[in-house]
Structure 1
Amino acid sequence: MSAAVFSPYLPALALLLCPVFEAAVGTSAGERCVYLDGARHLDAVGLSQDGDVVIGALFNAYILPEALDLSFTKELGNQPRDRKVAGSIPGADSANCLHGWVSFQESPVQWAQAVVFAVEEINRNPSLLPGVRLGYRIIDSCTRHPFTLRAAMSMISGGNGTCETTRPVKLIIGDVSSTQSIILSKSLSPLHVPMISYLATCACLSNRHEYPNFFRTIPSDAYQARTMAQMAKRFGWTWVGAVVADNDYGLLAVQVFQEETKNTGICLAFVKTLFREKLAKDVDRAASAVQASSARVILVFAWYVDVEVFLTELVRRNVTDRQFLASEIWSTSGRLLSNPQLYTIAQGTLGVAIRSAPIPGFEKHLRQLHPSRYPQDTFLRVLWERTFGCSPLRNSSSDSQSGPPPCSGTESLEGVQNGVTDVSNLRVTYNVYLAVYAAAYALHSLLACTAPNRSDPSLTPGCSSPDNITTEQLLEHLKLVNFTTQLGEKFYFQDGETPAVYDLVNWQRGPRGTLQYVPIGRVEGSQLIINESAISWPGDSNKVPVSVCTAECSPGSRKAIKKGLPVCCFDCLPCAEGEFSNISGSSKCHRCPPEFWTNSIRTACVPREVEYLSFNDTMGITLTTVAVFGAVTTAAIAVVFVHHRQTPIVKANNSELSFMLLLSLKLCFLCSLVFVGKPSPWSCRVQQAAFGISFVLCISCILVKTIVVLVAFRSARPGSAALMKWFGPGQQRGSVLLFTCVQVMICAVWLSLSPPLPNRNFGIQGSKVIIECMVGSVVGFSLVLGYIGLLAAICFLLAFFARKLPDNFNEAKFITFSMLIFCAVWIAFVPAYISSPGKYSVAVEVFAILASSFGLLVCIFAPKCYIILLKPENNTKKFLMGKTQ
């Protein structure tokens, strides 16, 4: 393996080996201890204070350049760097981050001072660790894991960058990054060294099996990712883009967001990553994705320095109509808020922020900071150079003219407002403060410390000796930490985690046009509390931005997923007949209850229109009129026959059967009226029985009349005179009665066993409910129709045989025509009845009844009425007999 791989870890190895080497050969460290690479004094970039127990802390005061110079045209020591910063640090030529730090951050200086303030406060507290003096060792982690690991190894081994040894730290507070914390936890876990992070939020670190020595005073990313998912649901954002850091912090946050929004209709339009070593290329790619996407809401999980570059690129492209969801790492960044270039694009940003809490006395501590009080604090010296433009290490007698001039010593942070002195919203700083107190309470428990007893002044407080404590013991006691903060809140670790509490902030324009973040809600556990009226949306709009792949389907339609696309990209299809959707964005349509049907726009169910053959509609009126006309016509013919009952033509055609036939035809016309109107149990029974009996009576009369004609002509032959005696008037009436009784019996059995009943038919016409009479027994209905058809067929055959009998007025010929019409009508009735929907099937049956009745009436009685009324001269016996001869 190449030396380049080992180079980040060699100083730590040297620090570990120097004391051993010195003891082995009996020489001084100054003569024999050597470094194996050029990173001398790396662990001297920070500040420290000795104590009985020392805790370590890692902060990233410096950040790496966006891209390293990999041209290999220069020596590493000649990489570009900030001379103003590096020049004031001893050994800076070799101790810098990869020989070229480029930016100094003010916020980590405040975080480091939170450790100093908390340790001094604890050392003054007689009730917490009495008799034990806490110390600290703070080192810059330089934003990358090789430096984090080297600094951590230096602290736990007791090295201090000068080949001298100090007291090893028992606990490390840090690191800022999730990736660095993962590496550090895995490296320190075999040594049982506990670590408390104040800003590492990766959900993966919650795995106690993988990271048993890891604790944190900031909630897991899982909670803020869920919070952002809840906000997306609340505001209806279903099409969201994501720009995240290319590390565990960003990638796992996106994973949690996707899991939380699963099956909710929320999709990620794109996921673009930002990696600092190739930031320019990644920013260009991410900005292009944002510009090309229809997503108007962008989720951003990245370090605030990288976010600044990304937003600046969007401004350059004039992409200003996006709603950003900010993670806690940049949602309250003063650097971004004070950047005038971002005023337009960043306005309206919604962010999840680490909850803010005050630290009493901390502002006074910061205002009184001076390099003379902390001469070893390299962070403070650099801050002094940046703030006052002078070097606190130089004096007027210095021969060197390079670098900033020497300070006068009267400089003070009183009245200075910057990222260090601003204590209006202590977020990460308060997490650091809590981490120090958690370590102190764990030590207090481990050392079995006793508090002062005012009732017994002779009992002095104190703790057991801290010289023999081990990191493994401290780790176990850290799990049991439970104390009340100065704000009266309970603090404890639950599997290394703290309860999720966040502030929700909104970036708004201030009175002077600058950006400021305004609290608009909070998160407590899974509860999301938002004051929507306090939100300022992008573009000073009072409307919630719309971010959807496809606009929500309107009521009356449903979503249809497009194949190969995310679930939030869909088509809107109208609901089918009988189905409705009464809300926007419905994924399915619901079927209406049986008695209801959808309205024309498929948004609600309305009662179905009841339909039957009514006396009020046109068809019902027409059929009723025709039926009444037929009955009146039949009655009129009967009157004519009664009036001319003594005439030969009436007598010659068996007047008694003729009157019975007229009566049955009148019943046929009238029975059709029972089919019109709303079906009821009695009407359903009556209509079929009346129809069947009336027509059998009618056909029976015609059949007997046909038989009489045949018998009459047969009896005229020699030897057949007695034939007429056997079929006289009594036998004729009895035959009609017999034929009719058979039908009456069929109807009686049918109506008693399975009668026709009214039924509400929902399946014929969707928007209508058809009220119709069901036949009940199909066998019964078939027997009724079959019996009528049988008599009609026999009558037709007999009449057909008698059609050519010699007679001036051969009634058999007219009966033949009438039976032909009757059979044709009822043969056509069957398919028409079956194929007609709803009330039209009833209309077909009524029409068949009327058509066949008119056919019989016209064919049999029209010729007779013609002679009676228009040719009375032919209504004589002589005329009838003359034709017969």
Structure 2
Amino acid sequence: MIFAIEEINNSTELLPGIKLGYQIYDSCASVLVALHVAFQLSNGQDPVFYRGSNCSQSGMVRAVVGESGSSPSISMARIIGSLQIPQVSHSASCACLSDKQQFPSFFRTIPSDQFQADALAKMVKHFGWTWIGAIRSDSDYGNYGMASFLAAAKREGICVEYSESVSQADPQRKIQRVADVIRRSTAIVVVAFADTSDMRILLKELAREPLPPRQWIGSEGWITDSYFTSFSFCAGAIGVAIQQSDIPGLRDFLLDLSPSKVADSSILTEFWEDAFNCTLTERVNSNRGVCDGTEDLKTLKNSYTKISQLRMTNMVYKAVYAIAHAIHNAVCHETNLTTQCDKHFRLESKKVLSELKKVNFSQNGYPVSFDANGDPVAFYELANYQKSESGVIELVTVGYYDASLPKGQEFRINKNITWVEGRTQVPVSLCSESCPPGTRKVLQKGKPICCYDCIPCPEGEISNTTDSPGCFQCPSELWPNAERNACFPKPVEFLSFDEVLAIILATFSVIGACLAIITAVIFFHHRTTPIVRANNSELSFLLLFSLTLCFLCSLTFIGAPSEWSCMLRHTAFGIIFVLCISCVLGKTVVVLMAFKATLPGSNVMKWFGPPQQRMTVVFFTFIQVLICTVWLVLSPPFPMKNLTTYKEKIILECALGSAVGFWAVLGYIGLLAVFCFVLAVLARKLPDNFNEAKMITFSMLIFCAVWITFIPAYVSSPGKFTVAVEIFAILASSFGLILCIFAPKCFIILFNPEKNSKKYLMNKNSL
């Protein structure tokens, strides 16, 4: 401070012609002493030794630099603030001092602990630590600072396993208890928001017994103190530190001390005698010799002469210059490129206070200004304890935190960091291991949010990020993979031609069609024989043709559904089956009419001859064509993706369009089949060796049985098996018709030709 004041007093630009005076007080880091000093400064009743006669010697001071600690600064600010005396602290960083309602005249060149707390929280978050311990000084600095840090840590999703306070005034048993908490904890990272004296007490206690590896994160209150490099377990500690500075001329000023200058100050006298282990004046009962005047400060190697890492010193330097600039702005003005200052201006402290709020200058490359809360722009270095090649632990700057940069860019690391136990990998400090994609976090009951279990996502849901709080559904046409961390298109399923089931059904379809064609060829070759002519060969050939189409119709149900195939498969099936049943019905009626015609006086056959039979088939088939046409016009079948039957796959199927149309087609087929069955039952006992009614009865019995069982099977079969059931019903009923009606006749034609005669046909008693 003296160096800065003398530099200002010798300046021709800042306060030219005006000298600044000062008084220095030692508060002994005591709140009570600081209060006493505050009253003395306010009253101006201090016994002061004035070395010159140029001082105004006015009672009240114009500004105060100090205090070093937050608690003494708070006490002083409450007194001198009411008198509008500006106070600029170089070291009091408590966030509470930013409250201008309580401390209207308080300024500082050190950043507020609110910025430090944010920087520490961002650092912890940056390295992925979510489970930490917290240690603080039991003072305004530690309590307010830790409160700000815990709030910032909570915003970043960081959990605190424990939060303990320490103080050098604490009894040994409390210090020991806090040390035991650190030893037993599971958190690897310990954030210490404390000052040097309190940390010394704690680390001494921890050094008494082996300490598990702990990654220390320090506040600026202790991280730069070289004392802590003596603790081996502090190697790898990292924290925020006040920016280093270079003050030109300071070293020469410090070394420019002579015994005569030292003797004028009791503080310097004490320093000189301790540094050189001698006394400036002879004293009784002194074990030290008298200083002989050959003492040279340049030979000293202590913190006084070591100015390579000036940090807080620069804060004092900037505080003095800030006050000087405020006074300059109050009493000086520019005229014709020169600066004129009014030496006789009666300067009041409130004027200095108002000007101090507006100062904005740069000194030695370091900007100085204050925001509305009296705080400077926050800038911290990131300091890391690293072990050198010689084994000595040194403090190395590895990055910085600049609050003036855009959000997300404040935190920078530009050098490698050494971690606890000399590791190069970032230590892990988590309450629970991260949940991989495919799982979600479930909090453990009664524990912080960082303690959780990892639960696999439910069926149909995924999580694609680490530590996902929940899972989400895949879109309707997608399904999770086995790991449940991504959605993939669902497999599309339909009765494909390359499936075993489809191949079997298609094979039977072709076999049935070939069987019908072979039967037709046999019948055509033996068309003049009695067994073919006995039961209306024309209807037989039409029935064989319709059966061939029935077998081939089942092939339309195989393959991917399309708009045309969906309309074709149902309507073609309905029309062909009605054609088939109409032919069977015609043959049944022919049998009945044939025996009615044998009765005396009956001419019924002329009313049901071949033309009428053809008209009957056409009429019944036309009704089905009409039903299918109405169905196709109003609401035809269409291809659709069935997403409900199976969650994990898509079923391609034909929607009915109109269920009424579908069941009307089936119902009409069933009605004709029942009618045909009834007629066949009535004709089954008519005496005739070639009576088809028995065979038609069996065929219709099979037909009705197949389609009655088809209904529940069709409704309950899932996916492609619905189509398979439908094909099976078509094939089963078609095979029933061809085997029951035509197989016996083909057997006689091929293997019992002797029975294929008119004589055998007319022999009613031989079977």
TM-score (normalizing by structure 2): 0.91
Instruction: Establish whether residue 119 from structure 1 lines up as the match of residue 5 from structure 2.
Output: yes
- Partner in structure 2 of residue 633 of structure 1: 515
- Partner in structure 2 of residue 110 of structure 1: none
Tell me how far 1:430 sits from its aligned partner: 0.5
Q: Return 5+ residue gaps in structure 2 as ranges.
A: 51-56
Percent identity for Structure 1 against Structure 2: 47
- Partner in structure 2 of residue 249 of structure 1: 141
Tell me how far 1:434 sits from its aligned partner: 0.8
What is the CA–CA distance in structure 2 between the aligned matches of 1:429 and 1:577, rounded to whole Å? 64
User: Which of 456, 467, 472 is the equivalent residue of 2:350?
Assistant: 472
- Partner in structure 2 of residue 332 of structure 1: 224
In structure 2, give the amino acid aligned to 1:552. Answer: S
List per-residue Cα deviations over 1:241-281 (Å, max 9, x = no partner). Answer: 21122334333333433443445433222222223322634
Asked if 2 retains the 8 angstrom alpha-carbon contact of 1:279 and 1:306, the reply is no
In structure 1, give the amino acid aligned to 2:223. Answer: S
TM-score (normalizing by structure 1): 0.80
User: Helix, strand or coil for the counterpart of 2:24?
Assistant: strand
- Partner in structure 1 of residue 374 of structure 2: 496
What is the CA–CA distance in structure 1 between the aligned matches of 2:674 and 2:268, rounded to whole Å? 121
- Partner in structure 1 of residue 536 of structure 2: 654
List per-residue Cα deviations over 1:354-394 (Å, max 9, x = no partner). Answer: 111111111112223456424464443443344333344x4
- Partner in structure 2 of residue 841 of structure 1: 722
- Partner in structure 2 of residue 157 of structure 1: 43
Query: Residues 617-696 of structure 1: matches in 2 within 5 Å?
Result: 617-696=499-578
- Partner in structure 2 of residue 443 of structure 1: 327
In structure 2, give the amino acid aligned to 1:546. Answer: V
User: Helix, strand or coil for the counterpart of 1:844?
Assistant: helix
What is the CA–CA distance in structure 1 between the aligned matches of 2:726 and 2:146, rounded to whole Å? 71
Asked if 2 retains the 8 angstrom alpha-carbon contact of 1:453 and 1:461, the reply is no
User: Which of 367, 373, 383 is the equivalent residue of 2:261?
Assistant: 373
Instruction: Establish whether residue 463 from structure 1 lines up as the match of residue 347 from structure 2.
Output: no
Instruction: Establish whether residue 431 from structure 1 lines up as the match of residue 315 from structure 2.
Output: yes
Instruction: Establish whether residue 780 from structure 1 lines up as the match of residue 672 from structure 2.
Output: no
CA pair 401-248 structure 1, distance change in 2 beyond 3 A: closer
Asked if 1 retains the 8 angstrom alpha-carbon contact of 2:135 and 2:192, the reply is yes
- Partner in structure 2 of residue 420 of structure 1: 304
CA pair 781-373 structure 1, distance change in 2 beyond 3 A: same
CA pair 263-826 structure 1, distance change in 2 beyond 3 A: farther
List per-residue Cα deviations over 1:169-215 (Å, max 9, x = no partner). Answer: 23222222223323332333222222111112222222222321111
What is the CA–CA distance in structure 2 between the aligned matches of 1:626 and 1:356, rounded to whole Å? 92
User: Helix, strand or coil for the counterpart of 1:278?
Assistant: coil
User: Which of 106, 123, 126 is the equivalent residue of 1:231?
Assistant: 123
Asked if 1 retains the 8 angstrom alpha-carbon contact of 2:641 and 2:651, the reply is yes
What is the CA–CA distance in structure 1 between the aligned matches of 2:310 and 2:155, rounded to whole Å? 38
RMSD over aligned CA atoms reads: 2.9
What is the CA–CA distance in structure 1 between the aligned matches of 2:110 and 2:225, rounded to whole Å? 17
Tell me how far 1:502 sits from its aligned partner: 1.3
Tell me how far 1:555 sits from its aligned partner: 3.1
Q: How many residues align?
A: 756
Asked if 2 retains the 8 angstrom alpha-carbon contact of 1:444 and 1:463, the reply is no
User: Which of 611, 614, 636 is the equivalent residue of 2:496?
Assistant: 614
What is the CA–CA distance in structure 2 between the aligned matches of 1:853 and 1:264, rounded to whole Å? 74
- Partner in structure 2 of residue 602 of structure 1: 484
What is the CA–CA distance in structure 2 between the aligned matches of 1:385 and 1:804, rounded to whole Å? 144
User: Which of 687, 706, 718 is the equivalent residue of 1:825?
Assistant: 706
Query: Residues 367-406 of structure 1: matches in 2 within 5 Å?
Result: 367-369=255-257, 372-375=260-263, 377-392=265-280, 394-395=281-282, 398=283, 400-401=284-285, 404-406=288-290
In structure 1, give the amino acid aligned to 2:534. Answer: A
User: Helix, strand or coil for the counterpart of 1:256?
Assistant: helix
User: Helix, strand or coil for the counterpart of 2:375?
Assistant: coil
Query: Residues 871-882 of structure 1: matches in 2 within 5 Å?
Result: 871-882=752-763
Deviates more, 1:543-552 or 1:407-416: 407-416
CA pair 855-369 structure 1, distance change in 2 beyond 3 A: farther
List per-residue Cα deviations over 1:275-294 (Å, max 9, x = no partner). Answer: 33226344333333333332
User: Helix, strand or coil for the counterpart of 2:240?
Assistant: strand
What is the CA–CA distance in structure 2 between the aligned matches of 1:565 and 1:603, rounded to whole Å? 27
Deviates more, 1:328-337 or 1:180-189: 180-189
- Partner in structure 2 of residue 850 of structure 1: 731
CA pair 751-358 structure 1, distance change in 2 beyond 3 A: same
In structure 2, give the amino acid aligned to 1:415. Answer: T
Deviates more, 1:416-425 or 1:661-670: 416-425
Asked if 2 retains the 8 angstrom alpha-carbon contact of 1:243 and 1:298, the reply is yes
User: Helix, strand or coil for the counterpart of 1:139?
Assistant: coil
Tell me how far 1:787 sits from its aligned partner: 1.6
User: Helix, strand or coil for the counterpart of 1:725?
Assistant: helix
User: Helix, strand or coil for the counterpart of 2:428?
Assistant: coil
Asked if 2 retains the 8 angstrom alpha-carbon contact of 1:127 and 1:451, the reply is no
Query: Residues 87-106 of structure 1: matches in 2 within 5 Å?
Result: none
List per-residue Cα deviations over 1:829-859 (Å, max 9, x = no partner). Answer: 2333333333222222212211221222222
List per-residue Cα deviations over 1:791-812 (Å, max 9, x = no partner). Answer: 2222233333444444445433
- Partner in structure 1 of residue 584 of structure 2: 702
Asked if 2 retains the 8 angstrom alpha-carbon contact of 1:123 and 1:129, the reply is yes
What is the CA–CA distance in structure 2 between the aligned matches of 1:501 and 1:801, rounded to whole Å? 108
CA pair 821-384 structure 1, distance change in 2 beyond 3 A: farther
Q: Return 5+ residue gaps in structure 1 as ranges.
A: 1-114
- Partner in structure 1 of residue 53 of structure 2: none
Instruction: Establish whether residue 355 from structure 1 lines up as the match of residue 243 from structure 2.
Output: yes
What is the CA–CA distance in structure 2 between the aligned matches of 1:801 and 1:247, rounded to whole Å? 112
List per-residue Cα deviations over 1:158-177 (Å, max 9, x = no partner). Answer: 34479999943232222222
What is the CA–CA distance in structure 2 between the aligned matches of 1:245 and 1:835, rounded to whole Å? 74
Deviates more, 1:577-586 or 1:214-223: 577-586
Instruction: Establish whether residue 584 from structure 1 lines up as the match of residue 493 from structure 2.
Output: no
In structure 1, give the amino acid aligned to 2:553. Answer: C
What is the CA–CA distance in structure 2 between the aligned matches of 1:832 and 1:391, rounded to whole Å? 115
What is the CA–CA distance in structure 1 between the aligned matches of 2:469 and 2:427, rounded to whole Å? 23
What is the CA–CA distance in structure 2 between the aligned matches of 1:210 and 1:569, rounded to whole Å? 40
User: Which of 185, 207, 231 is the equivalent residue of 1:315?
Assistant: 207
In structure 2, give the amino acid aligned to 1:611. Answer: E
Asked if 1 retains the 8 angstrom alpha-carbon contact of 2:358 and 2:369, the reply is no
Asked if 2 retains the 8 angstrom alpha-carbon contact of 1:198 and 1:435, the reply is yes
Tell me how far 1:694 sits from its aligned partner: 1.2
In structure 1, give the amino acid aligned to 2:322. Answer: A
List per-residue Cα deviations over 1:860-880 (Å, max 9, x = no partner). Answer: 223333333333333344444
Instruction: Establish whether residue 139 from structure 1 lines up as the match of residue 25 from structure 2.
Output: yes
Asked if 2 retains the 8 angstrom alpha-carbon contact of 1:358 and 1:426, the reply is yes
Asked if 2 retains the 8 angstrom alpha-carbon contact of 1:201 and 1:218, the reply is yes
Tell me how far 1:607 sits from its aligned partner: 4.1
Asked if 1 retains the 8 angstrom alpha-carbon contact of 2:42 and 2:80, the reply is no
Deviates more, 1:177-186 or 1:680-689: 177-186
In structure 1, give the amino acid aligned to 2:711. Answer: V
In structure 2, give the amino acid aligned to 1:449. Answer: C
Tell me how far 1:766 sits from its aligned partner: 4.5
Tell me how far 1:424 sits from its aligned partner: 0.7
CA pair 645-378 structure 1, distance change in 2 beyond 3 A: farther
Deviates more, 1:371-380 or 1:540-549: 371-380
List per-residue Cα deviations over 1:616-639 (Å, max 9, x = no partner). Answer: 121221111111111111112222
Asked if 2 retains the 8 angstrom alpha-carbon contact of 1:130 and 1:463, the reply is no
User: Helix, strand or coil for the counterpart of 2:294?
Assistant: coil
What is the CA–CA distance in structure 1 between the aligned matches of 2:48 and 2:84, rounded to whole Å? 26
What is the CA–CA distance in structure 2 between the aligned matches of 1:387 and 1:838, rounded to whole Å? 96
Asked if 2 retains the 8 angstrom alpha-carbon contact of 1:508 and 1:518, the reply is yes
In structure 2, give the amino acid aligned to 1:426. Answer: L
- Partner in structure 1 of residue 54 of structure 2: none
What is the CA–CA distance in structure 1 between the aligned matches of 2:586 and 2:136, rounded to whole Å? 101
